[in-house]
Amino acid sequence: MQQSMKPSEKLEQVEIKVKVRRFNQERGQYWQEYKLVVDRFTQMTEVLRRIKSEQDPTLAYRASCHMAVCGSCAMKLNNEPRLACKTLALDLVRKYNTNEIVVEPMDFFKVEKDLIVDMEDFYSRMYKVKPRLYPAKEVVENKAEQRLTPEDQKELWKFAQCIWCGLCVSSCPAVRIDKEFLGPAAHAKGYRFLADPRDTLYEERLKVLIDSSWRCTYCYQCFNVCPRDVEPVTTIKKTRAHTKFLKQKSEVAETGEKHVKAIFESIRNTGKLEEAKVYLTTYGLVTSIRDMLYTMRNGKTQLALIKEKKVNEIGQIQKLMGEKE
């Protein structure tokens, strides 16, 4: 039986204005606007394809699969890092309550032309973590078979869904300020193999991943923008848990471990985060005195020295932390 369409499902046609931030070597950066009619099926890659084929063959952008698999159409749409093929034009019109859609290349990467960026930096981050499985010799020689258990598969599946689009790296604040940080996508890929019981490079992967994992600021931007729900920040947390297995740790990793321990102790003892004490335990006396002078110069010493009272039912918290019965 044929079902009748609800009024909201009727084919709605809307004229949109697409404002593209363009760039080429000869002209530099400039904005260009295009108008076209879209309906509820029109993906943003289709918008760009129609502009290029019907209005302006000079517009440069990347897209291939049109189904959120190849990772090539990453860009900024109304300032949001998104896959163009996974974004319907009318969804943007409704969300921002305007028929104007602003299209820009991804942040962080160098723009080559219009919406195309140089992904070299992204790929070099990915290759640093050796992004493939290195199985045992017997498996390679076809003398043995090693299968994943359903539990292992469950742990790895989410993190294996990365399509190398670069959106997480383009919006990560830590990669911009810290050259030693590998970035969210490389961590997702690195952990996917670190946690794979069939892989043979565990020690080597620890050396590559642990120091970098402590350089993430936990802002969750990568979690928010990933079009495949990979949750790179979750892989960074999980990687940090392997720090204890690394024999020679960097100063950054050691400080990170101290910080986690200090927070744990503070909550166990008082039920609260005693900022000053946590800072002192993490960074030691000399650094703390130096930073205290900084807070004095900026009139913030009283904030650093707030003394927290223990919560009343501290036993309950300790019980939750598995400390006491």
Binding site for ligand SF4 (CB under 6 A): 162-168, 172-174, 184-185, 188, 216-222, 225-226, 228, 230, 232-233, 236
Enter the tokens of residue 80: 């949001």
Query: Which partner in ligand SF4, ligand FES, none is near 233 (CB below 5 to 8 A by kind)?
Result: ligand SF4
Instruction: Find the part of the chain contacting ligand FES (CB under 6 A) among 59-67, 113-121, 147-155, 168-176.
Output: 59-67
Angstrom distance (rounded) from CA 295 to CA 277: 15
Instruction: Find the part of the chain contacting ligand FES (CB under 6 A) among 26-34, 64-72, 166-174, 215-223.
Output: 64-72
**What is the nearest approach in angstroms of ligand SF4 to the Cβ of residue 222?**
3
**What is the nearest approach in angstroms of ligand FES to the Cβ of residue 167?**
10
CA distances (Å), origin 133, targets 186, 194, 314: 14, 9, 46
Residue 70 touching ligand FES (CB under 6 A): yes
DSSP one-letter string for 38-106: E-TT-BHHHHHHHIIIII-TT-----SSSSSSS-TTEEEETTEEEEGGG-BHHHHHHHHTSSEEEEEPP
Query: Which partner in ligand SF4, ligand FES, none is near 222 (CB below 5 to 8 A by kind)?
Result: ligand SF4
Query: Which partner in ligand FES, ligand SF4, none is near 77 (CB below 5 to 8 A by kind)?
Result: none
Q: List the alpha helices (DSSP H) in 214-274.
A: 221-225, 232-240, 251-270
**What is the nearest approach in angstroms of ligand FES to the Cβ of residue 126?**
16
Query: Which partner in ligand SF4, ligand FES, none is near 69 (CB below 5 to 8 A by kind)?
Result: ligand FES
Beta bridge partners of 75: 82
Residue 268 touching ligand FES (CB under 6 A): no
**What is the nearest approach in angstroms of ligand FES to the Cβ of residue 236?**
24
Question: Does residue 48 contact residue 61 with C-beta atoms inside 8 Å?
Answer: yes
Cα 43 to chain centroid distance, Å, stands at 24
Pairing of strands 14-24, 100-104: parallel
Angstrom distance (rounded) from CA 126 to CA 184: 10
Q: Which of residues 18-57 bind ligand FES (CB under 6 A)?
A: 45
Residue 65 touching ligand FES (CB under 6 A): yes
Nearer to ligand SF4, 173 or 284 (CB): 173
Query: Which partner in ligand SF4, ligand FES, none is near 72 (CB below 5 to 8 A by kind)?
Result: ligand FES
Residue identified by tokens 């947390």 is 237
Site map for ligand FES, 83-112, x if CB under 6 A? x-x---------------------------
Query: Which partner in ligand FES, ligand SF4, none is near 256 (CB below 5 to 8 A by kind)?
Result: none
Question: Does residue 233 contact residue 181 with C-beta atoms inside 8 Å?
Answer: no
Residue 73 touching ligand FES (CB under 6 A): yes
Helix/strand/coil for 24:
strand
**What is the nearest approach in angstroms of ligand SF4 to the Cβ of residue 196?**
17
Enter the tokens of residue 231: 């949750």
Residue 69 touching ligand FES (CB under 6 A): yes
Count of positions (residues) in the chain: 325
Q: Note the residues at the interface with ligand FES (CB under 6 A).
A: 45, 63-66, 68-73, 83, 85
